[in-house]
Amino acid sequence: MTPKEIAKTAVSALEDKKGADIKVLDTLALTTLADYFVLCTATSTTQLKALSGAVEEKLKNSGETPHHIEGHRGNTWVLMDYSSVVVHLFLEETRAFYNLEKLWGDAPEIELT
């Protein structure tokens, strides 16, 4: 899969599980970390787990496995590293605290729905 297809599949999985405020940032021209950052807000720790499980399952079914997954001990965020695409899942307060949209403010937001 291309990086864009990976990001689109992740967005689809997040939409299926009613993830909120889903954004895709095109970081290709800004960093070697990833081509895309996918950001999503969960309304609860239960939904946070459901969102990460849905992304992992949908991408696994497409032949993509994560390079690395990590989550904060407080269950307030999950980072899923698919090399060219990094999926960031947050509870609302945690997303506001890290404010990746501002940190990566030069990255254009793209639509992948």
pLDDT in tens, 4-31: 999 999 999 999 999 999 999 999 999 8
Read off the CATH number of the domain in which 94 is found: 3.30.460.10
Number of structural domains (the chain) is 1
* Domain that includes residue 9, residue range: 3-110
Q: What is the pLDDT of residue 32?
A: 87
pLDDT in tens, 46-71: 999 999 999 999 999 999 999 999 98
Q: Which of helix, strand or coil describes residue 66? A: coil
Asked if residue 113 has pLDDT above 70, the reply is no
- Residue 39: CB partners within 8 Å, gap ≥ 6? 21, 22, 23, 24, 25, 88, 90, 95, 100, 101
- Residue 103: CB partners within 8 Å, gap ≥ 6? none
Asked if residue 73 has pLDDT above 90, the reply is no
Q: What is the pLDDT of residue 71?
A: 85
What burial class does residue 55 get, using C-beta atoms within 10 Å of its C-beta: 0-12 exposed, 13-18 middle, 19+ buried? buried
